[in-house]
Structure 1
Amino acid sequence: MKNVKLALIGCGPHAKRIYLPALQALSNRYSIELSMVVELTEQAESVATAVSASGFSPETLFIDRFSDSLPEQLASELSRRVRKHGICGVIIATEPLVHKAYAQWALAQGLNILIDKPITARADVASSLEHASGILDDYEQLLRAYVRLQQSAETIFMVNAQRRLHPGFQLAERLLGEVGQHTNCPVTSIQSYHCDGQWRLPGEIVTQTYHPYCQGYGKASHSGYHIFDMMYRLYVASGVEEKRADTMEILSSFVQPNGFIKQLTETDYHALFPGDYGRVQPWSDSELRGMFKNFGEIDLSGIITLKQKGDAIANLSVNLLHNGFSRRTWTTPGNDLYKGNGRVKHEHHNIQQGPFQNIQIHSYQASDRHKDADEAQDGLGGNNHFDIHVFRHPMLADGGPSLRVYTGADALAEMKQARAGRLTSEFAKHRIVEQFVSYLAGTIPKAGLVSPIEDHMVPMQIMSGLYRSHVLRSRSADCLVKTTFGTGPTLGSADSASSADEVLEVGEK
């Protein structure tokens, strides 16, 4: 078994909650050395505390903020430390706007990569057609660089899309594959919904930089990417490849902060939080309207038409919300903006497979305290709630009932897994890290990885297409975005913006 020497770039709330504990647990089975941790200078104290508690003793590098490309001096210092420690893999868990810069550097060093979602992001993607197309272009650039690297050395480039290793979603994919094999029927419709109940007060929309709106992107680039990825995975799970789509048409509608402050006005907030709201809110609604220009999306809806040779063969719909049921009752935000601050998650997926099968996935929390993971949390409203309702045609039910309900515990049993006292969602996140480390240690082959970068073209096309459609809609232009399904260039015929020279193909600037 090989020694695994890693660098962790970015040690924010997600890394502290997932990556450090996962690596600590895996160090009982593998020889793991966390050789380097990179973070912003302003986070030095919290990083030192978290790293010390993890039991690792990495060299730390604290840096200033940058945008776009990696500063030459920083790239040189990172490369020097990689050589010094013999680092073979890097986990990129930074602000998404610099994902591409660090990934390009890591590819140039021949390193193995595990990167957080979204793979790339751009500032002002919700208002710039260039940047909305550019996030897909960025992905394709990274993919091409990775493919070129494989000509001289085998490495891996994994995306932390942990739902691919969630036992409930894995069971749903298996059930779709069973019906596809028996009937040759593909998935014909998907409705997906996700809400994470982040009630941010209007002033916080300006000031908060964790999962921000103020940098010109929002829900689609936050947790939304996971949903795009699962829609893709559920669609192809039937295994009926000859009936798969070859193109997509995408329409979207966004609610941005200027719409949000019309839902609840400053008058409403003063009534809800008498006395307190005035102390935490420095701006009036009229002042905020100007400040909110070009801010990212809070909520979004999208319709994706899947086509094969010009005919519509499936409809996908997606509704993604930050502004939904929350448990926040206070005006001053808590320290933990990742899982605290009143945040509550609701998620469901409704998948139709022609007349033969309907799978409904339901996961609804009622608490904003997400650490408890005992069996009492498996029911409706619990932290681990995850039910799968499966309706099957009598021809496929083997004489049994047409409805079967699987709980989260049932899904674990069906997939022969045990979550070891953790929330099932965090168990899946740990399994992604485990796959990454296991490959580097030489215990699993590359073919066994579930989330390689080359399998993320469609989710990136969906994310880019939703942003492009929104920008075009905001310009009162034709907002139907046409793209291929998977590899290949984006079609440009319907991407007309306010003038002919603004029509963009993928990668065009």
Structure 2
Amino acid sequence: MDLNLGLNILNKFMKNLNILLIGFGPHARRIYYPIIKNEEKSLNAKIVYAVDLQSQKQIIEEYLQKRSEIIPIYYIKNTYKKILNNKTVSALNKVIQEYKIDGVIISTEPLSHVLYADWALSKGLHILMDKPISSVINSSTSEKAAEKIFNDYKYLKVSYLKAKKRYGDVIFSLMAQRRYHPAFQKMKNLIQEVFQQTNCPITSMQSFHSDGQWRLPSEIIDIEYHSYNDGYGKCSHTGYHALDIVPWLIDGAEAPDKKINNVDIFTNFIRPKDFISELNLKDYKKIFPNFTKYNIYKEKEFRNITKNYGEIDAFNSFAFKHNEDTITLGSLNFNHNGFSQRGWLKPKADLYKGNGRVRHESYYIEQGPFQAISFISYQSTEINSKKKNKLFDIGGEYNLDIHVFRNNNLFPKWKNYQKFSIKDLDRNIIKGYSRGHQEDARRKCIVEFMDLIRKKNIKSISDYLDHERGTILLANVYKSAARRFKNKNPVVNVKF
């Protein structure tokens, strides 16, 4: 090989990648920035510039000051939910030239995802973007707004394909970390094994996620992080993970003559008006002696302000069908208002992890008479880096177990029961490198993104184009909710 050619190839792989971070909020401060900063040398990547709202300047500067770090940041004065004005576009264009930007991480409020992704694609920049692809104001109360979620997907799909044609192999990945999680990859492999031997699809699936994000009534109105005031809530927050992973798992056992091509969707939401009936102001006064001093809104005022707010909890039923025949029944249920470890009246500064948030997550998957898979991950306390005991037990920070049951009377080579712990699947946890198995999965997504930019011979696990089905589910869960909100028939059927 020619020496200069070899050096050029080596430089391509070793070149330090310059990353623009758009959105420096709680998720970026916990995941993107520290992971990339702490692993700059191994990743050969660096966040060289950031963008956020002027209103967040003090919080971001305090965060960087605590870390004794400096990064240039462009602050936008006003909200950027609707448009990118010419001044902002001009500033961003200048940044990508001056700082030789290779890729963009988009971690803003989802209302702004499409705007920034469209701009980045027009410049041929590689993108790693938070889920969901899009959120739309009033999507839980307006059918037209709900439909726009999938229209946004289609719009960016066109932009993405144009960018690929114009600039070459542009990368556009989504941070859907469960696809990178070894437990979900293990479950998909187990499903594929049984499918290959029996041709049996997934016949039913139940999913549950609760994050214990307990907010008191005034906070429902006044706290903007993972809020409800734009007419959507839990399904667009952590709920999208299940809406994405369920079709991803189903895809592991789809035969051509049983391929799912449409789905019936029926949903029920708990909205703030229901929430205030579950625990009313009198109840809160008994629980918190100083509640009256802290509470801002009377019940009538609360109900009036929140009447068009989005969902706190969502229970969703699905019938995944091949033509007229149901192949897979699904129940995907999401709670913000679930088991929590919050025991204080005033919220703490860290709302992402630090305000009593505790995760409970489970899946139960059946493949007819051949296999049942139970996934359980239950925490009993909030994450505490100092706690080192019983981390893998039920209630521990790292708890995650998969129980597998198989019909070994029919197939004697199968084991009738197996258990897989996260210790068996994620070696980083054992070695002491882990920040939690979900964070490990997020890190894998970030590493993959950098490798994809360098054109290493790998395929993206979470390419934008692979999120069509998940986006269809999200859009039509909201369409069902919007129909119920207007007292219409809430059952929605949609092509899949």
TM-score, reference length from structure 2: 0.93
Name the counterpart of 1:211. Answer: 226
Local SS of the residue matching 1:198: coil
Query: Contact 1:373/1:423 (CA < 8 Å) preserved in 2?
Result: no
* Alignment length (residue pairs): 481
Equivalent residues of 1:197, 1:343 under 8 A apart = yes
Q: Secondary structure at the match of 1:194?
A: strand
Offset of residue 25 of structure 1: 3.5
Aligned residue runs from structure 1 range 163-242, under 5 A? 163-238=178-253, 240-242=255-257
Match for residue 171 of structure 2? 156
Q: Is the 8 A contact 2:141 2:486 kept in 1?
A: no
Q: Which one of 472, 476, 483 corresponds to residue 472 of structure 1?
A: 483
Distance 2:410 2:22 in 1: 49
The answer to which of 35-44 and 417-426 deviates more is: 417-426
Distance 2:334 2:461 in 1: 24
Give SS of 1:237's match. helix
Residue 48 in 1 paired to residue 57 in 2? no
The 2-side partners of 1:436 and 1:356 are apart by 37
- Say if 2:36 and 2:46, in contact at 8 Å, map to a contact too: no
**Distance (Å, rounded) in 2 between the aligned partners of 1:20 and 1:167:** 23
Asked if residue 119 in structure 1 is aligned to residue 119 in structure 2, the reply is no
Aligned pair partner of 1:290 in 298, 304, 326: 304
2: distance between equivalents of 1:190 and 1:372? 36
Q: Any residues of structure 2 matched to 1:387-466 within 5 Å, and which? A: 387-395=401-409, 398-399=412-413, 401-412=415-426, 420-442=433-455, 444-445=456-457, 447-466=458-477
| CA RMSD across the alignment | 2.0
1:301-336 alpha-carbon deviations (Å, 9 max, x no partner): 111111112211111111111111111111100001
Structure 1 CA distance for aligned equivalents of residues 270 and 288 of structure 2: 24
Cα–Cα, structure 1 residues 60 and 416, in superposed 2: closer, same or farther, change >3 Å? closer
2:87 maps to: 73
Provide, for residues 250-305 of structure 1, a one-character-per-residue CA deviation record: whole Å limited to 9, x for no partner.
1111110001000111111111112x101110111111110111001001111111
Matched, 1:106 2:120: yes
| Aligned residues of 1:214 and 1:295 also touching (Cα < 8 A) | yes
Native 8 Å contact 2:43 2:447 kept in 1: no
1:478-501 deviation per Cα after TM superposition (whole angstroms, max 9, x unaligned)? 22211111xxxxxxxxxxxxxxxx
- Mean CA deviation greater in 55-64 or 18-27: 55-64
Once residues 172 and 241 of structure 1 are traced to their aligned partners in structure 2, the CA distance between those partners, rounded to angstroms, is: 21
| 1:278 aligned residue | 292
Structure 1, gaps ≥5 residues long: 486-509
Determine if contact 1:91/1:115 at 8 Å carries over to the other structure.
yes
TM-superposed deviation, 1:216: 1.2
Please tell me the residue identity of whatever aligns with 1:102: Y
Say whether the 8 Å CA contact 2:247–2:469 is kept in structure 1: yes
Contact 1:33/1:56, CA 8 A, preserved across alignment: no
State how far apart, in whole Å, the 2-side matches of 1:483 and 1:370 are: 43
Q: What is the match of residue 16 of structure 2?
A: 3
Gapped runs of 5+ residues in structure 2?
1-12
Q: CA deviation at 1:356?
A: 0.8
Q: CA deviation at 1:109?
A: 1.1
**CA 1:106–1:26: 2 relative to 1, 3 Å:** same
Contact 1:24 1:54 in 2 (8 A): no
Tell me the amino acid that sits aligned with residue 232 of structure 1: P
CA contact (8 A) 1:419 1:427 kept: no
Superposition TM-score, scaled by structure 1 size: 0.91
CA distance in structure 2 between the partners assigned to 1:295 and 1:340 by the alignment: 25
Cα 1:281–1:383 shift into 2, 3 Å: same
